């Protein structure tokens, strides 16, 4: 396999989020295979995260300062243009062209519709363009993203979505270049979690859409019905932490609901748990579900999208609950909390399903895509 020039373009590649972790994982994986990889963030993050301890890829930002905090109701892709000076915008765009002009060929992977809009009129004829969308089709329809995808992704060499259902839905909007690309899981331990520790784990930003409030209510309803002293460990930070801690205190479960904040070793957290959860109202995919399954954890998840259903098949490797329904989620939790044999069976199935999401297999798919674009 010959070495390629690969650029990943993200609006904010160092911010906290599943798509950011995926991009860094891909950049590291392709770099480790000998490709010349550059991760480009349009905006530096206000709270940068470290996703790869020893990167073998380059990482740069186009603006020197984080995006201005928005006020009012300007649409997302316009906020930067409205708040940045024309000189700042022009300098950032020149920087991107200098980076890509250093190569005679290559591939620019554009990670969001906003990033696609930002580069729409830049001349880069020598670079193959691949648009990715890390959210669900429903989310696109309910936001300006569908319009941006139809406007910009149709002109790219390839438009990639998280599952076949999403690709088929976007194809219905006259996008003839749609395909599916799996997100990789960056964890796949040699041995699965033993599932002996009565601990439930949740990981993600503490923001409204993640519905950690629903998870707390569901756990508070399910825990008293089970003999073992189960704990709920909530990993991640965000603006709702104080309110969620107050809610947890009101349940009367004491220290059985634990707010962990950011952790250094997420794999160890999965291996210490016995159930992984996702309680979001909306979720394009669900990296926490993929990582938990890779570690051998059964899942309880809200049936929030086709992307979630690609990771959790109800009754096979987990249980799907009705979105927004704490009672449905509590019943699913109680069923798994009270049945060790079921946890073992579902955890084993989940780990097996995740083998195709292991990083080497996903990198093979990317290299096959590059071959396709070269023909």
Please tell me whether residue 266 adopts helix, strand or coil conformation.
helix
Q: What percent of the chain has pLDDT over 90?
A: 89
In this prediction, residue 67 carries a pLDDT of 85
Residue 73: pLDDT above 50?
no
> pLDDT tens digits, residue range 99-153?
999 888 899 999 999 999 999 999 999 999 999 999 999 999 999 999 999 999 9
Which tokens go with 106?
Answer: 């290559």
Cβ-contact 99, 60 below 8 angstroms: yes
pLDDT band at 83 (very low <50, low <70, confident <90, very high): confident
Q: Which of 356, 370, 234 is nearest to 290 (CA)?
A: 356
Cβ-contact 132, 163 below 8 angstroms: no
202-215 core/surface letters (b: 16 or more CB in 10 A; e: else): bbbbbeeebbbbbb
Residue 221: pLDDT above 90?
yes
> pLDDT tens digits, residue range 90-100?
999 999 999 99
Cβ-contact 183, 357 below 8 angstroms: yes
Q: Give the residue-averaged pLDDT of 36-61.
A: 94
Residue 167: pLDDT above 90?
yes
In this prediction, residue 2 carries a pLDDT of 87
Residue 8: pLDDT above 80?
yes
> pLDDT tens digits, residue range 278-326?
999 999 999 999 999 999 999 999 999 999 999 999 999 999 999 999 9
| Range list of β-strands (E), the chain | 5-10, 36-41, 58-61, 107-110, 128-132, 158-161, 178-180, 199-203, 231-235, 257-261, 275-278, 299-302, 318-321
In this prediction, residue 70 carries a pLDDT of 58
In this prediction, residue 186 carries a pLDDT of 85
pLDDT band at 47 (very low <50, low <70, confident <90, very high): confident
Residue 75: pLDDT above 60?
no
- Could you give the CA distance from residue 61 to residue 135 in angstroms, rounded to a whole number? 23
- Could you give the CA distance from residue 59 to residue 8 in angstroms, rounded to a whole number? 9
What's the half-sphere exposure (Cβ side, CA atoms, 13 Å) at 145?
18
> pLDDT tens digits, residue range 229-256?
999 999 999 999 999 999 999 999 989 9
In this prediction, residue 278 carries a pLDDT of 98
126-155 core/surface letters (b: 16 or more CB in 10 A; e: else): ebbbbbbbbbbbbbbeeeebbebbeebbbe
* Distances 231 to 241, 255, 275, 330, 333 between C-alpha atoms, Å: 18, 8, 10, 14, 12
DSSP-assigned states of every residue in 29-86: HHHHTT-EEEEEESS--SS-----SS-SSEEEESSSSPPPPP-TT--HHHHHHHHS-H
* Phi and psi, residue 189, nearest 5°: -65, 155
In this prediction, residue 254 carries a pLDDT of 80
Please tell me whether residue 14 adopts helix, strand or coil conformation.
coil
In this prediction, residue 347 carries a pLDDT of 98
Q: What does the radius of gyration of the chain's CA atoms come to, in whole angstroms?
A: 21
Q: Please indicate whether residue 258 or residue 80 has the higher confidence score (pLDDT).
A: 258
Q: Which domains does the chain have, with CATH numbers?
A: 5-184+358-374 (3.40.50.2000), 199-356 (3.40.50.2000)
- Could you give the CA distance from residue 217 to residue 248 in angstroms, rounded to a whole number? 8
């Amino acid at each position: 396999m010959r070495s390629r020039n690969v650029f990943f373009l993200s609006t904010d590649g160092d911010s906290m989020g599943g798509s950011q972790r995926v991009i860094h994982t891909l950049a590291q994986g392709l770099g480790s295979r000998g490709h010349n990889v550059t991760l480009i963030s349009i905006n530096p993050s206000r709270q940068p995260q470290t996703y790869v301890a020893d990167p073998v890829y380059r990482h740069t930002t186009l603006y020197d300062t984080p995006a201005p905090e928005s006020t009012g109701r300007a649409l997302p892709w316009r906020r930067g243009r409205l708040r940045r000076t024309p000189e700042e915008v022009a300098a950032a765009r020149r920087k991107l062209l200098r980076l890509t002009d250093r190569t005679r060929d290559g591939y620019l992977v554009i990670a969001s519709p906003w990033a696609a809009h930002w580069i729409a009129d830049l001349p880069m004829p020598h670079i193959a363009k691949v648009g990715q969308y890390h959210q669900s089709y429903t989310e696109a329809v309910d936001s300006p993203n569908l319009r941006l995808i139809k406007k910009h992704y149709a002109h790219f060499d390839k438009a990639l979505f998280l599952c076949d259902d999403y690709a088929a839905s976007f194809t219905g909007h006259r996008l003839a270049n749609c395909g599916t690309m799996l997100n990789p899981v960056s964890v796949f331990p040699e041995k699965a979690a033993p599932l002996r520790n009565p601990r439930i784990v949740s990981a993600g930003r503490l923001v409204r859409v993640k519905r950690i409030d629903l998870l707390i209510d569901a756990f508070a309803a399910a825990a008293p019905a089970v003999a073992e002293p189960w704990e709920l460990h909530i990993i991640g930070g965000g603006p709702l932490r104080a309110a969620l801690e107050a809610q947890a205190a009101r349940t009367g479960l004491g220290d059985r609901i634990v707010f962990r904040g950011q952790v250094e070793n997420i794999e160890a957290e999965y291996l210490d748990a016995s159930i992984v959860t996702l309680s979001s109202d909306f979720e394009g995919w669900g990296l926490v579900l993929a990582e938990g399954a890779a570690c051998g954890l059964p899942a309880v998840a809200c049936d929030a999208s086709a992307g979630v259903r690609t990771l959790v098949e109800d009754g096979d490797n987990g249980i799907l609950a009705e979105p927004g329904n704490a009672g449905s989620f509590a019943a699913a939790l109680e069923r798994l909390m009270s049945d060790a044999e079921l946890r073992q069976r579902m955890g084993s199935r989940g780990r097996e399903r995740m083998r195709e999401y292991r990083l080497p297999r996903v990198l093979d798919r990317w290299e096959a895509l590059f071959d396709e674009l070269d023909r």
